[in-house]
Chain A
Amino acid sequence: DAKTTQPTSMDCAEGRAANLPCNHSTISGNEYVYWYRQIHSQGPQYIIHGLKNNETNEMASLIITEDRKSSTLILPHATLRDTAVYYCIVIPQSGGYQKVTFGTGTKLQVIP
């Protein structure tokens, strides 16, 4: 299964857009890109996912490059409550999470 690469940490000013990149150069055609976030000492929370088209929901936007080798999660107006570790993972269309690798993610610090 495809693995992902993310920066270890990022800072963002409160109220500004946070753009979190993810590289998944070995992704295959039937694999989705998923984003989760984990606030300290809580369970990860689903944010958004996509296959090849850009996606938007009430929490964030997901931009996937045309070749699908990378993606960017955008939090349009970051707040202090968005401070968390963000995980980018790749998962096949079916089969479950048993082969999914949750790495160390990107630690986003939103600064007042």
Chain B
Amino acid sequence: DGGITQSPKYLFRKEGQNVTLSCEQNLNHDAMYWYRQDPGQGLRLIYYSQIVNDFQKGDIAEGYSVSREKKESFPLTVTSAQKNPTAFYLCASSIIWGGGTEAFFGQGTRLTVV
């Protein structure tokens, strides 16, 4: 079935370590997004990409990095520079051009830094 897959579902890391969250989609979508969600809050955009080998910063990109080497994959690295990395991370994808663009979300990765 077509969809978007995030892994792992839960991730624990020690403070100061970089960690990479995986996001894969088989929907042939051009656009992919990473969001952060804190308890009781909405989604905040970290990075987005509309084409392979290109990506743009969102509202809260500091302390994060991404790559888009393949259309299907958009991994997010949470670096040691991110001051408060514990959060729920969501990846999404969508088409860009056309009438109406439904976004598909992964099931999220809950990152806990201790």
Contact = CB atoms under 8 A, between A and B. Distances in A.
Interface of A: 32, 34, 36, 41-46, 49, 51, 87, 91, 93-98, 101-105
Contact of A46 (B45, B50, B103): B103
Contacts of A105: 42
B19 to A, nearest CB: 19
Interface of B: 6, 31, 33, 35, 40-43, 45, 48, 50, 56, 58, 88, 90, 92, 94, 96-108, 110
A42 B108 contact: yes
Nearest to A105: B42
A57 B88 CA distance: 30
Given A36-B103, A43-B90, 14 more contacts: A41-B110, A44-B43, A44-B90, A44-B105, A49-B102, A93-B99, A94-B97, A96-B31, A96-B33, A96-B48, A97-B103, A101-B42, A102-B35, A102-B43
A98 B45 contact: yes
A75 to B, nearest CB: 19
Contacts of A97: 31, 33, 45, 48, 92, 94, 101, 103
